[in-house]
Amino acid sequence: MLHIKRPGLVPVLDSLFIEQIGGRVDADPSSLVDAIEHIRGVGRANLPQLRLIREHLRQQSLRDRTLVRILDAPLWTSSPGSGLFPRLGGWERVARLSRMNDPAG
């Protein structure tokens, strides 16, 4: 319900999302706590990249998004059940360090 009320702030972090990042949830309530910690760990591990994406979105004059929403978006669009999936099937994005940030360059 919170996502419906405030979609810009509250992502849909359902079992599909959790499975896509390597977590799991079952009938044991403690698995929810474990899943939250797992999401935080994935977010921390990807923090520099998530911040770069957020800055890129800001430069495109797009509405500001939380980092967890940014993490959530590519996972949802990469799912075969996503409405965008068929349109993005041929796309590929390669991340490279700029020469300025490349220690070798």
- Residue 98, domain member (yes or no): no
Residue with more model confidence, 33 or 14: 33
- Residue 44, domain member (yes or no): yes
- Residue 105, domain member (yes or no): no
- Residue 102, domain member (yes or no): no
- Residue 99, domain member (yes or no): no
Q: For residue 61, what are its two tokens?
A: 């004059």
Q: For residue 84, what are its two tokens?
A: 């965008």
**Distance from chain centroid for Cα 61:** 19
User: CA-to-CA distance for 28 and 33, rounded, in angstroms?
Assistant: 10
Q: Each residue of 40-74: pLDDT tens digit? A: 898 899 999 999 989 988 988 887 888 888 888 77
- Residue 95, domain member (yes or no): no
- Residue 55, domain member (yes or no): yes
Domain holding 78, by residue range, is 2-88
Please name which of 84, 51, 89, 42 lies closest in space to residue 70, comparing C-alpha atoms: 51
Residue 104 has pLDDT above 60, yes or no: no
- Residue 26, domain member (yes or no): yes
For residue 105, the model assigns a pLDDT of 47
Residue with more model confidence, 67 or 7: 67
Overall pTM > 0.75: no
Number of domains in the chain: 1
